[in-house]
Amino acid sequence: MAITKEKKEKLVADYADRLARSEAVIFADYRGLSVKDMERLRRLLWDSESVFQVIKNTLLKRALQDAGVTVPEEVLTGPTAVGYCFENVASVIKALSDFARDTGALTFKGGLLGNRFIAAGDVEALAQMPSREELLARVVGGVQAPLRGLVNVLAGTIRGLVNVLQARADQLGGAAG
């Protein structure tokens, strides 16, 4: 069954649109991945509003050109699947990395972060990064610790003043009685 020229143009336009809307794009070799595993991966990424699809290299190359993005030629050789990360990039890449480790059938070829190409090793490094929520918690903890110390110092000074005043009041009360 041959794909018509119009159908190819529509697919290329769809791919280019997804490339433009994505915060990150991951290119992977999916050899050895069963249909059941592919469906499981798609469902996993669906929850994070991401898409994972197999794309013909010639159509992907045209979509990349339309989007104004260049990638090394080796990315477009062999079977290629593309993971589009529309939001929460770290969690999507982490899910892909965990899935690749569990199945042993998914190999990263590289990716795009914005319009900049990143190598396969960089994709793995991104997968090791803490999640956005964890980073925010670290920032809040880093800001909160010095503030807590300041509050304790100020509270200690006030407690000391209250103790001195109470001791003086007791002293004056004992002298009057």
Average per-residue pLDDT for the chain: 86
32 three-class SS: coil
Q: How far apart are CA 80 and CA 29, in angstroms?
A: 5
| Number of domains forming the structure of the chain | 2
Q: Which residues have CB under 8 Å from 25's CB, separation 6+?
A: 19, 82, 83, 84, 85, 111, 112
> What CATH number corresponds to the domain at position 30?
3.30.70.1730
Residues 124 and 140 in one domain: no
The verdict on 81 and 115 lying in the same domain is: yes
Indicate whether 120 and 168 sit together in one domain.
no
Are 80 and 140 within one domain?
A: no
Tokens linked to 171: 């002293």
pLDDT at position 62 is 93
Contact 106, 100 (CB under 8 A): yes
Task: Let me know whether 31 and 73 are in one domain.
Answer: yes
Residue 168 and residue 143 share a domain: yes
- Asked if pLDDT for residue 1 goes beyond 60, the answer is no
Structure-block tokens of residue 124: 């793995």
Same domain for 136 and 122: no
- Mapping DSSP to helix (H, G, I), strand (E, B) and coil, where does residue 74 land? helix
Q: In terms of domains, do 99 and 156 share one?
A: no
Range of the domain at 143: 132-177
pLDDT tens digits for range 143-155: 887 878 777 888 8
- 99 in Cβ contact with 44 (< 8 Å): yes
Q: Residue 169 class from Cβ within 10 Å (0-12 exposed, 13-18 middle, 19+ buried)?
A: exposed
Query: pLDDT by residue (tens digit) across 18-49?
Result: 998 889 999 999 988 888 988 888 888 887 78
Mark whether 77 and 60 lie in a shared domain: yes
Question: What's the confidence (pLDDT) of residue 80?
Answer: 92
Whether the per-residue pLDDT at 177 is higher than 70: the answer is: no
Residue-wise pLDDT for 59-111, tens only, equals 999 999 988 888 999 999 999 999 998 887 888 888 888 888 888 888 999 99
90 with 31, same domain? yes
Q: Both 19 and 62 in a single domain?
A: yes
Is the same domain home to 81 and 157?
no
What pTM does this model have? 0.71
Q: What is the pLDDT of residue 117?
A: 92
